[in-house]
Amino acid sequence: MTRIFSGVQPTGHLTLGNYLGAMRRWAEEDQYRADALFCVVDLHALTVDHDPARVRRLSRQAATLLLACGLDPERCTLFVQSQVDEHTRLSYLMECTATDGEMRRMIQYKEKAARERERGGSVRLSLLTYPALMAADVLAYGTDEVPVGEDQAQHVELARDLAMRFNQRYGQTFVVPRTTLPVVAARVMDLQEPTRKMGKSHARTAGVVYLLDEPDVVRKKIMRAVTDAGSDVVYDRAERPGVANLLDVLAACTGGDPRALAAGYDSYGALKKDTAEAVVERVRPVRERHAELAADPAYVDEVLRAGAERARRMARPRVDAAYRAVGLLA
Ligand code: AQP
Is 197 catalytic? The answer is: yes
Output the pLDDT for position 184: 80
pLDDT: which is higher, 229 or 3: 3
Please write the tens of the pLDDT for every residue from 8-63. 999 999 999 999 999 999 999 999 999 999 999 999 999 998 999 999 999 999 99
Q: Would you state the torsion angle of the CA atoms of residues 278, 280, 282, 287, taken in this order, to the nearest 10 degrees?
A: 180
Q: Which residues contact 235 (CB under 8 A, 6 or more apart)?
A: 243, 244, 247, 258, 259, 261, 262
pTM of the entire structure?
0.95
> Strand, helix or coil at 91?
helix
**CATH superfamily membership of 3-181+297-325:** HUPs (3.40.50.620)
Residue 183: predicted pLDDT: 81
- Cα 21 to ligand 1 centroid, rounded to whole Å: 8
Of ligand 1's listed atoms, the one at least distance from the Cα of 149 is 35
pLDDT at 279: 98
> Does the annotation count 272 as an active-site position?
no
Residue 269 has pLDDT above 90, yes or no: yes
Q: Which pLDDT score, from 0 to 100, does residue 253 have?
A: 96
Query: Which tops the pLDDT comparison, 149 or 218?
Result: 218
The active-site residue out of 112, 220, 221, 272 is: 112
pLDDT at 186 > cutoff 90? no
Share of the chain above pLDDT 70, in %: 100
**pLDDT exceeds 90 at position 283:** yes
Q: What's the gap in Å between 26 CA and the centre of ligand 1?
A: 14
The partner residues of 146 in beta bridges, in order of sequence, read 179
Q: Which atom of ligand 1 is nearest to the CA of 48?
A: 30
What's the residue count for the chain?
330
Q: Which residues of 62-87 are buried (b: 16+ CB within 10 A; e: fewer)?
A: bbbbbbbbbbebeebbbbbbbbbebb
Average pLDDT over residues 161-174: 98
Domain boundaries, the chain: 3-181+297-325, 215-291
If you average pLDDT over every residue of the chain, what do you get?
Answer: 96
Residue 147 Cβ contacting ligand 1 at under 6 Å: no
Nearest Cα to Cα of residue 230 among 202, 259, 271, 170: 271
Q: Looking at residues 155-167, what average pLDDT do you find? A: 98
Is the CB–ligand 1 distance for residue 245 below 6 Å?
A: no
ipTM given for this complex: 0.96
Distances (CA, A) of 320 to 81, 130, 274, 323: 18, 22, 53, 5
Do 3 and 137 form a contact (C-beta atoms < 8 A)?
no
Hey, which residues does 15 pair with through a beta bridge?
Answer: 210
Running DSSP on this structure, what letter comes out for residue 8? E
User: Do the Cβ atoms of 321 and 167 come closer than 8 Å?
Assistant: no
Q: How far is CA 171 from CA 92, 157, 183, in A?
A: 18, 20, 36
Q: Kindly give the distance from the C-alpha atom of residue 287 to the centroid of ligand 1, in angstroms, as a whole number.
A: 19
| pLDDT in the model for residue 319 | 98
Among 68-72, 114-118, 135-139, 156-160, name the one with the lowest average pLDDT.
114-118
Whether 151 has a binding-site annotation, put simply, is yes
Residue 108 among known ligand-binding residues: no
* pLDDT at residue 229, rounded to an integer: 85
DSSP 140: T
- pLDDT average, residue stretch 282-309: 97
Q: Where are the alpha helices (DSSP H) in the chain?
A: 16-18, 24-25, 31-33, 52-68, 86-95, 100-104, 107-118, 125-139, 153-170, 215-223, 241-254, 258-262, 268-294, 297-325
11 Cβ closer than 6 Å to some ligand 1 atom:
yes
Instruction: Please tell me the distance between residue 296's alpha carbon and the centre of ligand 1 in angstroms.
Output: 27
pLDDT in tens, 188-231: 999 999 999 999 988 899 999 999 999 999 999 999 999 988 88
The predicted pLDDT at position 119 comes to 86
Q: Is 273 a catalytic residue?
A: no
Q: Cα of 47 to ligand 1 centre, how many Å?
A: 15
- pLDDT at residue 55 in the model: 97
Q: Within a 10 A sphere around the Cβ of 305, how many other Cβ atoms? A: 13
Pocket test for ligand 1, best of 18, 246, 248 (most atoms within 8 A of CB): 18
**C-beta 200 within 6 A of ligand 1:** yes
Sign of CA dihedral 52, 58, 62, 63: positive
| Structure-model confidence comparison of residues 120 and 37, the more confident one | 37
Atom of ligand 1 nearest to the CA of 201: 29
Whether residue 12 is annotated as binding a ligand: the answer is no
How far is it, in rounded angstroms, from Cα 281 to Cα 286? 10
pLDDT computed for residue 14 by the predictor = 97
User: Among 72-76, 117-121, 210-214, which is the least confidently predicted range?
Assistant: 117-121
Determine whether 322 is exposed, middle or buried from the number of CB atoms within 10 Å of its CB (0-12, 13-18, 19+).
buried
Looking at the domain covering 215-291, what would its CATH class be? mainly alpha
**Per-position b or e across 206-245, b if 16+ CB within 10 A of its CB:** ebbbbbbbeeeebbebbeebbbbeeeebebebeebbbbbb
| Res. 264: pLDDT tops 90 | yes
Fold match between domain 3-181+297-325 and domain 215-291: no
Q: In degrees rounded to 5, what are phi and psi of residue 145? A: -130, 140
Look at residue 88 in the predicted model and tell me its pLDDT.
98
